[in-house]
């Protein structure tokens, strides 16, 4: 029965590329017209056939993790990208679309992230081991989208370009007080303190990240300019000249978008500027992948542009600039995946094969999402005053332009 169900699903779904599937009894079928993406996949037992027919998104990830969906490591990206691309073009069962719609309608209930739950969610992902992240991230441990301003950039160069791009949007000057919401391992805060002369308060809910960030501040001689805290952003009660947040909004959860932007509004000085860097949908709101929510980012939610815009509109903030970075995160993830695969011998000394397949699948799924769906990165520049920043983007690319444009706006 379930083989018939899955067979019918795949015949309607795969309308481009080709999926060559080996069933548990050894027989093979091909789906799709061919050309472009192609992958060879085997299903090890009848149980995974049933699960794929019942809950395809969750079963796809779990089946690959536990080895019941067999695909060569070098074909995993093509396999996942093939399915993601066809999901945008082919026909999913009506029941699947109904389930997705219901999950979208109930996201306000599923993602109520109070401070305690938020800390547990963050620690689930970030407190596994800094050593793992050091393996595949750049030397500054930037765990967010890099900014590839020219072809052939290294990951290190692109991550530095990202930080400098953000700093220019913040119009950082020496002595300014900056809040870094979700400071990670401290790279952004350290850059603003070391290279721009700011005094930075960084907050995180990860004990591992806090310890690493503090140690880095001491090692780089800027501990007097950087204050890292294990603290929920909602408990901060100070005022800052600048607020930056890179890759944290995705952990807030849909019900808390208003709360998040209201807090930015509250903490930002009258003449202040904020820059929020976040993954986002440039399409209708969509529910979080069940597999991602269960295994990778519990409580996470990628907002749509309409959702963040509505939340900002309910504050006293100007959206002084909104930039959508396209084509950067897929490349970033490809760099991470290459580094992860190149270090498998080292990683096998730390984790078992199930974890390795889980992490590979995570990196692949995310890369495919950025390359095949309407998903990008938002740069939301916010201020209380419309003239808190220059009225054109020239200042981002022309040295000295910011001061001239700011003077003209006064």
Whichever domain contains 6, its CATH number is: 3.30.1050
* CB 56, CB 96: distance < 8 Å: yes
Confidence of residue 410 (pLDDT cuts 50, 70, 90): very low
pLDDT digits (tens, 9 = 90+) for 123-132: 556 557 899 9
Tell me: do 184 and 326 sit in the same domain.
Answer: yes
Q: How far is CA 109 from the centre of its chain?
A: 22
Question: Which residues does residue 204 pair with via DSSP β-bridges, in sequence order?
Answer: 230
Tell me: do 132 and 62 sit in the same domain.
Answer: no
Q: What is the mean pLDDT of residues 348-369?
A: 96
Q: What is the mean pLDDT of residues 59-76?
A: 96
Please state whether beta strands 17-22 and 69-70 pair in parallel, antiparallel, or not at all (unpaired).
unpaired
404 assigned to some structural domain: yes
Give me the pLDDT at residue 88, please. Answer: 83
The length of the chain in residues reads 410
- Look over the chain and give the mean of its residue pLDDT values, rounded to a whole number: 91
Q: What is the dihedral of CA 219, 224, 229, 233, to 10 degrees?
A: -130
Give me the pLDDT at residue 184, please. Answer: 96
User: From residue 61, how far is each of 95, 192, 245, 361, 366 by CA, in Å?
Assistant: 20, 39, 30, 7, 12
The CB-based long-range contact list for 237-240 (8 Å cut-off, 24+ gap) reads: 238/177, 238/179, 238/201, 238/267, 239/177, 239/267, 239/268, 239/269, 240/177, 240/178, 240/179, 240/201, 240/267, 240/268, 240/269, 240/272
Assigned token pair, 370: 């950025």
Give me the pLDDT at residue 226, please. Answer: 98
Report the domain count for the chain: 2
Q: What percent of the chain has pLDDT over 70?
A: 88
Tell me: do 156 and 26 sit in the same domain.
Answer: no
pLDDT at residue 94 is higher than 70: no
C-alpha span between 281 and 370 (Å, rounded): 10
The last residue of a domain, from among 92, 126, 147: 92
Tell me: do 76 and 144 sit in the same domain.
Answer: no
Give me the pLDDT at residue 402, please. Answer: 53
Give me the pLDDT at residue 36, please. Answer: 87
For residue 136, the domain's CATH number is: 3.40.50.150
Confidence of residue 4 (pLDDT cuts 50, 70, 90): very high
98 assigned to some structural domain: no
Confidence of residue 43 (pLDDT cuts 50, 70, 90): very high
Tell me: do 21 and 122 sit in the same domain.
Answer: no
Tell me: do 240 and 345 sit in the same domain.
Answer: yes
pLDDT at residue 118 is higher than 80: no
pLDDT at residue 156 is higher than 80: yes
Which residues are catalytic, by number?
A: 366
**Parent domain of 72:** 2-92
Q: Name the one residue in this structure whose structure tokens are 């309910």.
A: 314
Confidence of residue 408 (pLDDT cuts 50, 70, 90): very low
């Amino acid at each position: 029965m379930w083989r018939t169900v899955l067979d019918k699903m795949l015949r309607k779904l795969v309308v481009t590329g080709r999926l060559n599937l080996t069933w548990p009894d050894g027989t093979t079928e091909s789906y799709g017209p061919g050309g472009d993406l192609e992958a060879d996949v085997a299903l090890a037992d009848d149980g995974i056939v049933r699960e794929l027919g019942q809950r395809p998104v969750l079963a796809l990830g779990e089946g690959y993790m536990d080895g019941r969906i067999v695909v060569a490591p070098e074909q995993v990206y093509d396999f996942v990208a093939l399915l993601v691309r066809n999901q945008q073009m082919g026909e999913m069962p009506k029941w699947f679309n109904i389930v997705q719609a219901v999950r979208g309608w109930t996201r306000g209930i599923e993602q109520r992230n109070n401070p305690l739950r938020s800390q547990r969610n963050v620690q689930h992902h970030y407190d596994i081991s800094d050593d793992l992240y050091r393996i595949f991230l750049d030397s500054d441990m930037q765990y967010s989208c890099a900014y590839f301003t020219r072809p052939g950039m290294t990951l290190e160069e692109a991550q530095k370009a990202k930080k400098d791009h953000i700093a220019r949007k913040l119009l950082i000057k020496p002595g300014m007080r900056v809040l870094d919401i979700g400071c990670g391992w401290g790279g952004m805060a350290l850059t603003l303190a070391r290279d721009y002369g700011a005094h930075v308060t960084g907050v995180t809910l990860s004990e591992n990240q806090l310890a690493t960030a503090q140690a880095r501040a001491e090692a780089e001689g800027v501990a007097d300019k950087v204050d890292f805290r294990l603290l929920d952003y909602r408990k901060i009660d100070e005022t800052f000249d600048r607020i930056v947040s890179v890759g944290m909004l995705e952990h807030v959860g849909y019900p808390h978008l208003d709360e998040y932007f209201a807090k930015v509004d509250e903490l930002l000085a009258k003449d202040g500027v904020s820059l929020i860097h976040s993954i986002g949908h440039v399409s209708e709101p969509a529910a979080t992948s069940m597999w991602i929510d269960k295994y990778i980012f519990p409580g996470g939610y990628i907002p749509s542009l309409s959702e963040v815009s509505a939340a900002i509109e309910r504050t006293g903030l100007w959206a002084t600039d909104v930039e959508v970075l396209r084509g950067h995160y897929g490349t970033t993830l490809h760099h991470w995946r290459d580094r992860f695969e190149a270090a498998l011998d080292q990683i096998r000394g730390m984790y078992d094969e199930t974890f390795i397949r889980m992490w590979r699948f995570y990196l692949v799924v995310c890369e495919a999402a950025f390359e095949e769906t309407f998903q990008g990165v938002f740069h939301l520049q916010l201020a209380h005053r419309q003239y808190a920043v220059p009225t054109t983007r020239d200042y981002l690319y022309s040295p000295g332009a910011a001061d001239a444009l700011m003077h003209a706006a006064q």
